[in-house]
C-alpha cells in the first residue's frame, strides 16, 4: 500500500474518457462498451477506489450524459465540449479540480484491466524518485503503433518517439508508453496550455517533451504484464480483454471456494458474487450484479441476470432475470423467471413454467407448464399443470391473489383480477372469472353429457362416411 510522503490526499485522479472511439465502429461511446458486464470506464473508477485514492474526476465528451449517468455518485465529471485531445482534456480537468493537490494521477477510460496494486506502486515510485512525471511503460512483443520509450545512458527517460517520427533504431525498441502516469501539478497547467497542435488536437505525450526540454526529470516504471495496461481501441482488443477479465473473475471464484466444473464454458460477470461450495455446471451465464449464496447448484445451460439467490438454491436449464429466490428454492428445467419474481423458501418451480412480477409463498409448487403473471401466491399452494393466469385484458395488467394452501387443478384459467381464498379448491379445466371464497370448491366448466348409443346411431345414418361433428 502506498503510504507516507505527500500522502494519498495530495493526489488528484483524472480519468480521460471523452473520446468517441472511432476504431470501435460503434454509435456508442467507447467508455460505455461493456467488459464483464460493466462499462469500461467503471472498471477504472473501481480500480482507483480499491487503490485507496479519492473520488476521481472523469473527463467526458462524446455522449457525456450517458457516461455521467453510469458514474453517478462514483466520480466527478468534467466536460470537454470539443474533443481536442488528451492534453486539452487534462487541462480542463485541472481547471475544474482547482488548487490543493501536489500531483495528478492520469488514467484512461479505455484501460479497464489496470490493477489497483499497480496504481499504488506507481505512486510509490513517483514519490521516491522525485520526478516531475512518472509514466507507466511496458514491454510489447510487437510495439507497432505505440510511442517508444527512449532512455538515456543513466536509464532516465530521454524522449518518447512516436511511431510516425521514430528512427529505425527507435522502432526496434520494445518498451512502449501506455499513457498512464503521475504528474507534478506545479507548472503543468502552463505546459499543457502551450502544447503544439496536431490538427485539432493536443496530445498529453507532448507534455513529456516539454518537461524534458526544461531539464525536468521524467521516469518510466515498467509494468510486468502488458495485457493489464492495454488500451482498448478495437472490437478485437475488446474481445481479448473480455477473455482476460473472464479468467480473472473465474480465478477469484475458484479461490473463494466455488466449484466450476468447466471454466471454458462458464461466463461470470465481474460484479457477480457467489458463496462457498456452490457448484456451477457448464454453459452457465451469471450476469450483472447477481448475488448467489452458499451450497447452490446452477446449470447446466442456465442464465441468471441481476438476481439474488439465497443458500441452497437449485436452478437447472432455466432463465432467471431480476428475481429474488429464497433458500432451497428449486427452478427448472426449462423455466423462465422474469423481472419482479420472488420465491420464498422451499418453493418448487418445475419444467416449462413462466413467472413475471409474481411472489410465491413458502413451499408452494408449480410443477408443469404454467404461466403465473402479476400474482401474489400464498404458501403451500398447489398450481396444477396447464394453469394460466390471464393477467392482460388488452389494456392493463391485472392482479391475482391466491391464498395459503389453495389447490388449483390442471388446465385452469384464472381471469384477473380475481382472488382465490385460503384453502379453496379450483376444479381442473375451470375458467375462473369470479372470486372464490376460502375453503370453497370452484367449478367453472361446461357440464359433461354422455349420449348412450350415439355412435351406433350416427354410423347407421351414414355418419361414418362424413366428417365427425
State the Cα–Cα distance between residues 444 and 390, nearest whole angstrom. 15
| 130-135: average pLDDT | 95
State how far the Cα of 188 lies from the Cα of 349, in Å rounded to an integer: 63
Count other Cβ atoms within 10 Å, centred on residue 22.
10
Q: What is the percentage of the chain residues whose pLDDT exceeds 70?
A: 97
Average pLDDT over residues 364-390: 98
* pLDDT band at 154; cut points 50, 70, 90: confident
Determine the pLDDT at residue 466.
58
User: DSSP per residue over 341-384, as a string?
Assistant: -EE-TT-EEEEEEEEES-EE-TT-EEEEEEEEESEEE-TT-EE-
Query: What average pLDDT does this structure show over 148-152?
Result: 94
* pLDDT tier at 1, thresholds 50, 70, 90: very low
CB distance 74 to 192 below 8 Å:
no
Domains, the chain, ordered by start: 8-229 (3.90.550.10), 235-442 (2.160.10.10)
pLDDT for the residue 165: 86
Residue for grid cell 452457465:
284
Give per-residue pLDDT as tens, 428-441.
999 999 999 999 99
- pLDDT for residue 148: 95
Average pLDDT over residues 132-160: 93
Residue 297 CB neighbour total at 10 angstroms? 17
pLDDT value at residue 8: 55
Residue 227 CB coordination number (10 Å): 12
Question: Residue 469: is its pLDDT beyond 70?
Answer: no
User: Which residue has better confidence, 447 or 371?
Assistant: 371
Q: What is the mean pLDDT of residues 18-39?
A: 95
User: Which whole-number Å values give the CA distances from 152 to 104, 206, 212, 411, in the listed order?
Assistant: 25, 18, 12, 83
pLDDT score at 447: 86
Cβ neighbours of residue 18 closer than 8 Å, sequence gap 6 or more: 59, 60, 61, 62, 64, 80, 83, 89
Q: Nine-digit cell at 8? A: 494519498
Instruction: Please determine, for residue 455, whether its predicted confidence score (pLDDT) is greater than 90.
Output: no
Burial 37-52 (b: 16+ CB within 10 A, else e): bbbbbbbbbbbbeebe
Catalytic residue, chosen from 33, 126, 198, 368, is 368
- The pLDDT value given to residue 346: 98
Say yes or no to pLDDT of 2 above 70. Answer: no
Concerning whether 368 is annotated as a catalytic residue, the answer is yes
CA dist., res. 360 & res. 336, Å (int) = 14
Q: What is 296-320 written as a DSSP string?
A: -EE-SSEEEES-EE-TT-EE-S-EE
State residue 448's pLDDT score: 85
Range 398-403, long-range pairs (CB < 8 A, 24+ positions) = 398/374, 399/374, 399/375, 400/374, 400/375, 400/376, 401/375, 401/376, 402/375, 402/376, 402/377, 402/378, 403/378, 403/438
Q: Give the pLDDT of residue 169.
A: 93
Mean pLDDT score of the chain: 94
pLDDT tens profile 4-16: 334 455 899 999 9
Q: If you average pLDDT over residues 334-354, what whole number do you get?
A: 98
Would strands 175-184 and 103-108 be described as parallel, antiparallel, or unpaired? Answer: antiparallel
Confidence category of residue 272, pLDDT binned at 50, 70, 90? very high
Amino acid at each position: 500500500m502506498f503510504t507516507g510522503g505527500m500522502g494519498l490526499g495530495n493526489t488528484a485522479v483524472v480519468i480521460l474518457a471523452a473520446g468517441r472511439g472511432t476504431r470501435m465502429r460503434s454509435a456508442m461511446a467507447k467508455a460505455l462498451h461493456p467488459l464483464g458486464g460493466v462499462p469500461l470506464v467503471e472498471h477504472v473508477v473501481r480500480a482507483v477506489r480499491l487503490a485507496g485514492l479519492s473520488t476521481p474526476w472523469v473527463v467526458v465528451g462524446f455522449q457525456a450524459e450517458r457516461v455521467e449517468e453510469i458514474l453517478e455518485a462514483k466520480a466527478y465529471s468534467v466536460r470537454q465540449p470539443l474533443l481536442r485531445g488528451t492534453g486539452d482534456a487534462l487541462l480542463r480537468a485541472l481547471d475544474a479540480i482547482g488548487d490543493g493537490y501536489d500531483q495528478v494521477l492520469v488514467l484512461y477510460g479505455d484501460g479497464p484491466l489496470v490493477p489497483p496494486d499497480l496504481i499504488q506502486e506507481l505512486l510509490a515510485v513517483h514519490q521516491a524518485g522525485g520526478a516531475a512525471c512518472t509514466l507507466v511503460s511496458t514491454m510489447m512483443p510487437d510495439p507497432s503503433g505505440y510511442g517508444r520509450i527512449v532512455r538515456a545512458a543513466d536509464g532516465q527517460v530521454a524522449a518518447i518517439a512516436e511511431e510516425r517520427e521514430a528512427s529505425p533504431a527507435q522502432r526496434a525498441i520494445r518498451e512502449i508508453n501506455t499513457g498512464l502516469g503521475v504528474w507534478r501539478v506545479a507548472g503543468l497547467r502552463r505546459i499543457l496550455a502551450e502544447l503544439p497542435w496536431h490538427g485539432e488536437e493536443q496530445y498529453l505525450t507532448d507534455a513529456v517533451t516539454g518537461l524534458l526540454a526544461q531539464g525536468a526529470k521524467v521516469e518510466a516504471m515498467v509494468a510486468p504484464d502488458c495485457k493489464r495496461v492495454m488500451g482498448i481501441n478495437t472490437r478485437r482488443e475488446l474481445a481479448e480483454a473480455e477473455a482476460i477479465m473472464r479468467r480473472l473473475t473465474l480465478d477469484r471464484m475458484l479461490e473463494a471456494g466455488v466449484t466450476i466444473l468447466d471454466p471454458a464454458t462458464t461466463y461470470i460477470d465481474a460484479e457477480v458474487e457467489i458463496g462457498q461450495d456452490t457448484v456451477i455446471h457448464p454453459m452457465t451465464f451469471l450476469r450483472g450484479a447477481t448475488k448467489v449464496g452458499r451450497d447452490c447448484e446452477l446449470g447446466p445451460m442456465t442464465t441468471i441476470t441481476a438476481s439474488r439467490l439465497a443458500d441452497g438454491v437449485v436452478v437447472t436449464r432455466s432463465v432467471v432475470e431480476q428475481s429474488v429466490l429464497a433458500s432451497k428454492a428449486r427452478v427448472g428445467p426449462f423455466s423462465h423467471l422474469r423481472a419482479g419474481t420472488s420465491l420464498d423458501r422451499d418453493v418448487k418451480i418445475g419444467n416449462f413454467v413462466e413467472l413475471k412480477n409474481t411472489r410465491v409463498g413458502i413451499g408452494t409448487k408449480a410443477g408443469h407448464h404454467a404461466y403465473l403473471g402479476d400474482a401474489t401466491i400464498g404458501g403451500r399452494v398447489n398450481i396444477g399443470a396447464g394453469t394460466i393466469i390471464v393477467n392482460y385484458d388488452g389494456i392493463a395488467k391485472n392482479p391475482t391473489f391466491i391464498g395459503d394452501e389453495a389447490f388449483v387443478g390442471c388446465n385452469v384459467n384464472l381471469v384477473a383480477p380475481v382472488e382465490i381464498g385460503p384453502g379453496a379448491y379450483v376444479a381442473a379445466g375451470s375458467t375462473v372469472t369470479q372470486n372464490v371464497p376460502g375453503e370453497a370448491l370452484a367449478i367453472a366448466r361446461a357440464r359433461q353429457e354422455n349420449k348412450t348409443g350415439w355412435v351406433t346411431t350416427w354410423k347407421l345414418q351414414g355418419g361414418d362416411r362424413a366428417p365427425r361433428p
